[in-house]
Amino acid sequence: MNRFSIEFELAPGVQVLTRKVLADDRGSFQRLFDLDDLTTLGWDRPVAQVNQTITRERGTVRGLHFQHPPFDEWKLVTCLQGEILDLIVDIRRSSVNFLSVYQVKLDGNSPRSLLIPPGFAHGFQTLSANVVLNYCHSQPYVPNAEGGLNVQDPRLAISWPLPITQLSDRDRQFPMLTSDFNGVDR
């Protein structure tokens, strides 16, 4: 039984999924990750890490993060509580959509997840307070392989729906893009 259906393709290879909800008089059940089901959608590795973030303040931005090959990763992002604007940037050097920005809303009241393949930087802005996100990663975090794009880079021209209330020093210090940024490819 497939527990995920493709709601729509956000970007080439990036799927917005709807989880199947089983409900009865006791409540409901949703599978947040299923390797067999997600393998049919391209996920080609076991889960290496499952992480959770709790973001307290509305307007906070986290991202835009990625890992360089060979540590690039699949991510399955699920909002368990609150609401976010989830954002990805295509950083695949060979892509015709190189540096294109895509966004989708995720919230804890809908059975929606975002499946992101390698080659995309990822971040989000909280649209409510007390947001809880769950991330499944196909690779462990490798500090020396980490990369990031500056969320305020004019070349990306991201129009955040809210003023940015919080941004970590690490995210603030990611460099602006220059003409020699070549993205990533395997």
Catalytic residue selected from 68, 122, 135, 137 = 135
The reply to whether 137 belongs to the active site is no
Place of tokens 């992002």: 77
Is there a catalytic annotation at residue 135? yes
CB burial of residue 20 (10 Å; 0-12, 13-18, 19+): middle
User: Going edge to edge, which strands form the sheet with 4-11?
Assistant: 4-11, 14-19, 112-116, 75-81, 131-137, 49-55
Interior CA angle at 149 toward 55 and 114, to 5°? 55
Residues with active-site annotation: 65, 135
